[in-house]
Structure 1
């Protein structure tokens, strides 16, 4: 579900269209409101929109941007009370957009974007099938708009991103996209998106930062090219200090690419004072990053998150991390208290939340040495992690699960340090022992071996490794690992 952050930042802005009544007019005040909302300065943006409604009542843009403000609030904070209050606005705004001039490319585009935004919100509130059908409606509306206005760049920005994501869906779930008529292709999707980024079209340039969001997430999670991702972030000089949304994006990408120090720095340096929306997700990300760096105040951020967050995503994982933090401090009373909360709070929508629940119900605690090495490695502190493990052997650990984790963990450290031969040797040993076990270590080892061979240009061994990952069943993180392995195979096929 983390990947959900790839499509969470959809931005669509209509331009002026001649019409006697309703119109799509992106004037200076609406542009200012849009910029403020996209920086998560929601109060400022909404105030500007109210001014526009009073002075230019036929303009539909303010109502469209209202939806964006609601989207960010609901998607990030997941407050069911706010959801109940704002849910009725979806139909009202779609009806308003339908009153606009149909000869404008924004006529269908705004409707598609609203549908898609609410699909993502519905996912957060457990309305899965409604969300699927909402995505289908959005996709079909966009394709129709693309047929009518093939040169309209915002079509390609959104369709390209959607097609790239659809292209990674594992074979076992392909029937869903085939039935719904949503075809995927990584190559074609990225071609469309890159076209928008490179375009000199004034509209494409106006929304170029939005295309940057898609590019960054897809580069990491689908194309698996982190070097190109960070080079892009540096070249474009993304303003993570004043754009809170950019700061959250870079911190999230850092968390998923073993760059805890970078993520912490970005969140510490960004402006998130009273003018910015209160986003509880920030405390979750900061808490995880600081725990990986073994900072004492990691607990402070995680506790603030679980105390204030009203949603269900990430909660079980956050509680698990809190229990780990106290466990490593030797405070078993508090560690057990947080562990006991895991089955009662949150949901099982993400693989990480599922794994947290499974561990809590098992009643066993991780090996403290392996846990510290895991956290340090996940944060990118490879030398410290290696120093903890390099003088150990698999036989030093009493259970098969710990032996598997040791092999995978040390292999992953060597992998990240560029020591491919050592990494492959440990990955292969983990696969031999762990293929039919419930832990994810063997499947993740196969996936990582696929990445190594892909980097080497050995397509045969890369394909074998990705397929090995897909063939394993009944293990933790099955959905997310399968999606990444599927993306690897598609890259090898040039699709």
Structure 2
């Protein structure tokens, strides 16, 4: 977009240049936006102040209700106690309250009501005569939080610009206050996000003046998590998410979550822990935690219903899973996961032998407009295929994802391989490889992964071959054969196109960087 002459006349030169720069940034960032949106989603609720050292009883009360996602009560307490001892802490919590409400509700009307609060709070901070390092720290956090919210609601241009502004604000604060440690929480997360962007898209970040490094970002967060600051637990939670979602180090991630000695686990901690448990193939533990949270007297986010349904579905508890999917479908005001939920309800009916209702729900799922979540995109690919999928293979896939390995093994044994199509034979081999890998049968896993990659040309439209290389690399790292691991990780990067290219390329890139760091 080139600015028109009439528009230029209405704008100052500085305003016109900034608008043009925003648009150019938007065009360049579109190439990586899809990846960024998928990656940051689990991190959206991690901006949680934690009183490792209690500030005031007022702050503690507001903090507790915010952490329990009780937005109305938290807002009420903020009106009663508008000041807390942390500089600009009241604005931070007020902003956090808005952001968490919007992330969990996805309510467009509520977004339109609350979005002006960002500029209002930033103006209040800018107008303050307080010159403490907290000034730019809180400004950077507010910009970062709203960047994620804007991206989630589809406001791409303003979201990208807020992300860039957050980075620049924190960067300036580091230069002015190098001994102030809290800014490494914001910068640490930004470094991880930008550092995980695939190499062929890093030039876009360079044009925008953004830099990333996963290992440095994680090191900053881990260092901060050991400090006695109000944000140490938050840094530890973010570190755990990075270890699980990017580094595939699930055990280490869960270790970082076991430091809460309180009898009360907040709703936010339930959310984060359940995500990591499910990512680490332990849906059974996640389902127990989510059930207990939903049964509490205080309200829980509707997203918990969806996550619980997912955990139950993976374990073959189809009647119970269907109940929770339907609660989510009937009450959720946003768009994400609705297509996937309706498809999973249809699959529950299929596995329960209810053919008529299966077909009705399947058609309803097809008619549901998909959203930006990875679950909806995956559901869309399954629903738009020319024929029904092989539901037994899907059952194996979901059982393995949830850590229900006995269910997966039993289902594998029931399959008549003579009736499988060509591509289904290779998918079954891939699923067997994943099952062997996750049950620590590494030799068997390597043999099966090799069988998958020997048919790479026949699997050109799937992620089975590149992910097989990735998993073989992880096995070799586990066996301390880093040279062979590097060969496998580099093979991942050679694939030009597949459904999870950005995600798998990022993981391979991070693993290669970790190996290089060991050799330095």
TM over 0.5: yes
| Residues 1:220 and 2:244 aligned together | yes
Q: Contact conserved, 1:314 with 1:346, CA < 8 A, in 2? A: no
Specify whether residues 392 and 331 from structure 1 end up closer, same or farther in structure 2 by C-alpha distance, changes over 3 A only: closer
Q: How does 1:27-176 map to 2 (within 5 A)?
A: 27-53=56-82, 60-176=88-204
Q: Distance in 2 between matches of 1:249 and 1:13?
A: 15
| Residues 1:211 and 2:248 aligned together | no
124-133 or 475-484, which moves further after superposition?
475-484
Q: How does 1:453-492 map to 2 (within 5 A)?
A: 453-492=476-515
Q: Contact conserved, 2:436 with 2:444, CA < 8 A, in 1? A: yes
The equivalent of 2:302 in structure 1 is: 280
Q: Distance in 1 between matches of 2:39 and 2:287?
A: 18
- Post-superposition shift, 1:181? 1.9
Instruction: Please give the secondary structure, in 1, of the residue aligned with 2:81.
Output: helix
Instruction: Please give the secondary structure, in 2, of the residue aligned with 1:233.
Output: coil
Q: Which runs of 5+ in 2 are unaligned?
A: 1-37
Instruction: Please give the secondary structure, in 2, of the residue aligned with 1:250.
Output: helix
Q: Distance in 1 between matches of 2:354 and 2:431?
A: 26
CA RMSD of aligned residues (A): 2.6
The equivalent of 2:26 in structure 1 is: none
- Post-superposition shift, 1:135? 0.7
Specify whether residues 289 and 121 from structure 1 end up closer, same or farther in structure 2 by C-alpha distance, changes over 3 A only: same
> Deviations along 1:357-397, whole A, 9 cap, x unmatched?
1221114223233222222211111123123325868x534
The equivalent of 1:6 in structure 2 is: 43
Q: Distance in 1 between matches of 2:481 and 2:371?
A: 37
Q: Contact conserved, 1:355 with 1:477, CA < 8 A, in 2? A: no
> Deviations along 1:300-353, whole A, 9 cap, x unmatched?
111111222222322332233222222222223333333334454344534432
| Residues 1:190 and 2:218 aligned together | yes
Q: Contact conserved, 1:408 with 1:427, CA < 8 A, in 2? A: yes
- Post-superposition shift, 1:281? 1.1
Specify whether residues 29 and 65 from structure 1 end up closer, same or farther in structure 2 by C-alpha distance, changes over 3 A only: same
Q: Distance in 2 between matches of 1:241 and 1:402?
A: 47
The equivalent of 1:23 in structure 2 is: none
Q: Distance in 2 between matches of 1:427 and 1:305?
A: 37
- Post-superposition shift, 1:284? 1.2
Specify whether residues 213 and 390 from structure 1 end up closer, same or farther in structure 2 by C-alpha distance, changes over 3 A only: same
| Residues 1:299 and 2:322 aligned together | yes
Q: Distance in 2 between matches of 1:217 and 1:196?
A: 15
Q: Which runs of 5+ in 1 are unaligned?
A: 15-25
Specify whether residues 338 and 391 from structure 1 end up closer, same or farther in structure 2 by C-alpha distance, changes over 3 A only: closer
- Post-superposition shift, 1:479? 2.7
> Deviations along 1:123-171, whole A, 9 cap, x unmatched?
1111123212111100110111112222222111221122122211112
Instruction: Please give the secondary structure, in 1, of the residue aligned with 2:47.
Output: coil
